[in-house]
Amino acid sequence: EAQVTQNPRYLITVTGKKLTVTCSQNMNHEYMSWYRQDPGLGLRQIYYSMNVEVTDKGDVPEGYKVSRKEKRNFPLILESPSPNQTSLYFCASSLNRQGNTEAFFGQGTRLTVV
Amino acid sequence: KQEVTQIPAALSVPEGENLVLNCSFTDSAIYNLQWFRQDPGKGLTSLLLIQSSQREQTSGRLNASLDKSSGRSTLYIAASQPGDSATYLCAPRGGGGTSYGKLTFGQGTILTVHP
- Name which of B34, B41, B105 is nearest A42 (Cβ-Cβ): B105
Q: Which of B2, B44, B87 has the most A C-beta neighbours within 10 Å, making it the best mutation to test the interface with A?
A: B44
Q: Calculate the dihedral angle through the C-alpha atoms of A58, A62, A68, A74, rounding to the nearest 10 degrees.
A: -80
What residues have CB less than 8 Å from B22, skipping those under 6 apart? B6, B7, B8, B72, B73, B74
As separate numbers, helices (DSSP H) first and strands (DSSP E) second, chain A gives 0, 11
pLDDT tens digits, B26-77: 999 999 999 999 998 889 999 999 999 999 999 999 999 999 999 999 999 9
pLDDT tens digits, A19-62: 999 999 999 999 999 999 999 899 999 999 999 999 999 999 99
- Does B40 lie at the interface with A, CB-CB under 8 angstroms? no
- Name which of A58, A99, A108 is nearest B31 (Cβ-Cβ): A99
Compute the count of residue pairs across chains A and B with CB atoms less than 8 Å apart: 62
